[in-house]
A and B are shown apart, each in its own frame.
Chain A
Amino acid sequence: DTAVSQTPKYLVTQMGNDKSIKCEQNLGHDTMYWYKQDSKKFLKIMFSYNNKELIINETVPNRFSPKSPDKAHLNLHINSLELGDSAVYFCASSQARGLGETQYFGPGTRLLVL
């Protein structure tokens, strides 16, 4: 009965590879997000989708491409991985886009690029 799930939990790969991270929410929420958490625990939003439509794109390199096949899923594909992409990536969802809406986070995907 996990609310927001991500796969894989850990991802170790070589520089230059392409990888995907998947996210699913079973809360019936309309809005989903991707965040990046660096080694100092700093969290920054990357993308947000509302009903499969991209609404936030925070100057992320175009090697990162989100895809939302339906409103319960938001996947993140990363091309040509670089060392600086090593981080924890969190998916989140919220009921709507209101100012006070609570976001529910997944457990994170720990990506290590060697």
Chain B
Amino acid sequence: GNSVTQMEGPVTLSEEAFLTINCTYTATGYPSLFWYVQYPGEGLQLLLKATKADDKGSNKGFEATYRKETTSFHLEKGSVQVSDSAVYFCALSDRAFGNEKLTFGTGTRLTIIP
């Protein structure tokens, strides 16, 4: 079946540091890939997505590139801010028997220290 593996957290960085959160996936077909972010006490919101190989999703300074050859979708940001502190979820959407659904990774908690 489908699965998403994220790097274990928590991750703690200083402000302006470079961020990478690794994500790899297993899927039977050609999935779409997503990063969702969950701020404390809130629901998830889409951060970025990519729907085919070599696509790059980007938003708010975050980027991720859909790498089919390595089945990866790593999240990067060049200079993090305190406001980026949240839980980040990698996810894939795949069509199984006609029913699309999101499969999530376990989430990575990120804390940015001023």
A positions within 8 Å CB-CB of B: 4, 33, 40-45, 48, 55-56, 58, 90, 92, 97-108
Contacts and interface: CB of A to CB of B under 8 A. Distances in A.
Given A42-B104, A43-B107, 10 more contacts: A33-B101, A41-B107, A45-B103, A56-B99, A56-B101, A99-B30, A99-B31, A99-B100, A102-B49, A105-B43
B82 interface: no
A43 to B, nearest CB: 4
Given A43-B89, A105-B43, A99 B94 contact: yes
A103 B109 CA distance: 21
B5 interface: no
Contacts of B98: 55
A103 B36 CA distance: 10
A99 B51 contact: yes
B31 A44 contact: no
Nearest to B50: A100
B108 to A, nearest CB: 9
Contacts of A108: 42-43
Interface residues of B, number: 29
Contacts of A98: 100
A98 to B, nearest CB: 7
A100 B93 contact: yes
A107 B46 contact: no
B100 A97 contact: yes
Contacts of B104: 42-44
B95 interface: yes
A93 to B, nearest CB: 11
A26 B107 CA distance: 28
